Structure 1
Amino acid sequence: MAALGLLIIRLVIGLTFVGHGAQKLFGWFGGTGVSETGQWLESIGIKPGGKIWAVVAGACELIGGLLFAAGWMTPLGAALITIIMIDAIITVHGRNGYWLTNNGFEYNFVLIAVTIGVAFIGPGRYVLFSP
């Protein structure tokens, strides 16, 4: 049952990050794409190069999510997701305190804990690629 539990966690979190990356990179799933995401990043003070950082963030989310969901190179996938979540805390949510009700970093922190926890435990039996 533990392997099934890990698979569910990996798929939900990993595919959610794939979706977030696709929103930033391609404008899919209601996203804004690189240009508008870059403009937003510059509007919150990430200057210069908002578009470059939009590509970097989108790629980390997309690649990290794919690796995490697949259970292949899980620590790397978890690290990419963790980096993005730490960045979100530093640039957006940290100043609002902990609780999500105040746009705080509660959700980001939970995602960091889960991805790091899975990286330490391992991806479980159900993986796309076996070493």
Structure 2
Amino acid sequence: MTQGDEYARPSLFTESGYFDPQDPGAGLPDPEDRLAYDDDRAARWHGGLDFGLLILRIVLGGALGAHGLQKVFGLFSGPGIAEFARILAAHGYTSQTTALSWVAGVTEIVAGGLLVLGLFTPAAAGALLAITANVVYLEYRAGFFLDSNAAGSGFEYHLVLGGIALALLFTGPGRISLDVNTPWRRRPVPFGFVGFVLAAGAMAIVLSLFR
């Protein structure tokens, strides 16, 4: 199938933003040219992909940022620091619950804001992944589904948010971001692994020191 049919209509595939036309006789780029070739491809617009990543960043960063405002300032009918510390104690945290409340709330606000902006995305997504993974760990005994008759039960909501954070670690923020010209936007996978390891380490530290 050619790029256009006999009526000169363009192929939907070639117009999708993912098509990278090549000279059939050119072969693969020489090794010394591959870095520049990859950088050129990373700088291109990819149709709806970048817009989709922006939506995911806004959803995750906005949702958890709002949760942070609830914890720290008591906004949106939130608990505030003192009440959230009591909630942590009820979930088995035995030491420094007030300090942990501040850390959790401020992390959600800062990391959520950075994620919406697309700034330092691997660090922001990793921090939110650590927080959502801790909540999933705490709530898994209550079952998967949220129960409208039992506040705080079920972990499905935080599992979805954690899945978005994990995905953003390895996709990067997309071109609609302040990270657009950074190495972690152009090559997100290695930075994603670093963010994942840091998130796992942060979760292990919290569970070992505060429970």
After TM superposition, is the score higher than 0.5?
yes
Residue 3 of structure 1: how far off its partner (Å): 1.0
Q: Which one scores higher on RCO, CA 8 angstroms, separation ≥ 6?
A: 1
Q: Is the aligned partner of 1:104 residue 2:151?
A: no
Separation in structure 1 between the aligned mates of residue 90 and residue 160 of structure 2, nearest angstrom: 27
CA deviation profile, 1:23-65 (whole Å, cap 9, x unmatched): 1111112112111111221122212222111111112211221
Q: Is the aligned partner of 1:36 residue 2:36?
A: no
Structure-2 residue corresponding to 1:117: 167
Separation in structure 1 between the aligned mates of residue 134 and residue 63 of structure 2, nearest angstrom: 17
Structure-2 residue corresponding to 1:59: 106
Displaced runs of 4+ in structure 1, greater than 4 A? none
Task: Tell me the percent identity.
Answer: 35
Q: Identify which range, 93-102 or 2-11, moves more after superposition.
A: 93-102
The 8 Å contact of residues 173 and 179 in structure 2, kept in 1 or not, is answered as no
Structure-2 residue corresponding to 1:7: 54
Q: Are the structure 2 counterparts of residues 59 and 26 from structure 1 closer, same or farther at C-alpha, using a change threshold of 3 Å?
A: same
Structure-2 residue corresponding to 1:95: 141
The 8 Å contact of residues 20 and 61 in structure 1, kept in 2 or not, is answered as yes
Q: Is the aligned partner of 1:86 residue 2:133?
A: yes
Residue 129 of structure 1: how far off its partner (Å): 4.9
* Higher Cα radius of gyration: 2
The 8 Å contact of residues 108 and 128 in structure 2, kept in 1 or not, is answered as yes
SS at match of 2:175: coil
Q: Which runs of 5+ in 2 are unaligned?
A: 1-47, 183-211
CA-based RMSD of the aligned residues comes to 1.7
Residue 21 of structure 1: how far off its partner (Å): 0.7
Separation in structure 2 between the aligned mates of residue 86 and residue 129 of structure 1, nearest angstrom: 25
Higher helix residue share: 1
Separation in structure 2 between the aligned mates of residue 99 and residue 45 of structure 1, nearest angstrom: 21
Q: Amino acid of the residue matched to residue 98 of structure 1?
A: F
Q: Amino acid of the residue matched to residue 143 of structure 2?
A: G
TM-score (norm 1): 0.89
Q: Which runs of 5+ in 1 are unaligned?
A: none
TM-score (norm 2): 0.57
Residue 2 of structure 1: how far off its partner (Å): 1.2
Q: Identify which range, 49-58 or 96-105, moves more after superposition.
A: 96-105
Structure-2 residue corresponding to 1:50: 97
